[in-house]
Amino acid sequence: MEFRGSVAVVTGAAGGIGAALGERFHDAGATVVLSDRAGADVQTIAARLNARRPDSAHVVIADISTEHENERLVHEARRIAGRIDLFFANAGVAMGTDLSASETEWNTSFDVNVHAHRWAAKYLLPDWLAAGRGYFASTASAAGVLAQIGSAPYSVTKHAAVAFAEWLSITYGSRGLRVSCLCPQGVNTAMLRGGDRPAENSAINPNAGNVVRAAGAVLEPHEVADAVHDAIVAERFFVFPHPEVADYMKLKATEHERWLGGMRKLQRRVFGV
């Protein structure tokens, strides 16, 4: 993947990892289309990037929790920038705790963390397959290959996000589609610090952030963006800004009972149960 001269779309681009990705791709020479929900301060980021290189950063306000808005985002980005070379489905939510999580929390988690990827790909793939090239990347989480102590909806939907990315790569990789899946542990973002709150004003277990901190280093978004850039240039599927995640995956695969025991021990350490 060559960023210079390409067009990259990033969702959830108003802050955190999404903002860092947009800036990193722009620094590498891409024209970027930044997308987030209404009210998110994504225009400020685009203005800062355009001050460096005029007409190189654009904004499409979209709520990617619906199919219609994903379709509109893809069409509008193509209208503005002419094409899409890379689509980075980064937007995500962290909500819900155990089996008491509400249906709203479960449904919103699936819509944003999983279905948004599926809906975007549905409208991206026809043009990409016709051209014989395209790049789809998504943000899952280390929880998507391991587990999220403290949140069933987050753990389940992030596993599904990884599975969908793998399916895309398997199904269309021989037809020119490249796929990457970002799976970080702790990153210094609003999600780690507080989580997203649904209508019932319930959120991910407040101790979930402590689980992440206990598991390893908390990186800054720009460090994650650097790792993503390098992985996409190399066209690697998994992006592990925390290298230890790969080691945990090996343990999970080869000594699953030991891994489960270690996760229960970590849960007791943080939650006391």
Question: Checking phi first, is residue 37 left (phi over 0); if not, alpha (psi -120 to 50) or beta?
Answer: beta
Q: Which fold has domain 7-244?
A: Rossmann fold (3.40.50)
Q: Is the pLDDT of residue 195 over 80?
A: no
Given pLDDT bands bounded at 50, 70 and 90, which one contains residue 39?
confident
Mean pLDDT value of segment 182-211? 64
Q: What is the pLDDT of residues 108-142, one digit of tens each?
A: 999 999 999 999 999 999 999 999 999 999 999 99
State the Cα–Cα distance between residues 183 and 224, nearest whole angstrom. Answer: 10
State the Cα–Cα distance between residues 9 and 147, nearest whole angstrom. Answer: 28
Q: Is the pLDDT of residue 4 over 70?
A: yes
Mean pLDDT value of segment 243-259? 97
The question of whether 123 is a catalytic residue gets the answer no
Mean pLDDT value of segment 191-219? 59
Q: Is the pLDDT of residue 252 over 80?
A: yes
> For residue 133, what are its two tokens?
């090239």
Percent pLDDT > 70 in the chain is 91
Contact 157, 109 (CB under 8 A): yes
Of 123, 154, 172, 248, the catalytic one is 154
Q: Is the pLDDT of residue 187 over 60?
A: yes
Q: What is the pLDDT of residues 144-162, one digit of tens each?
A: 999 999 999 999 999 999 9
Q: What is the pLDDT of the chain when averaged over all its residues?
A: 92
Helices and strands of the chain, counted as H and E runs: 11, 7
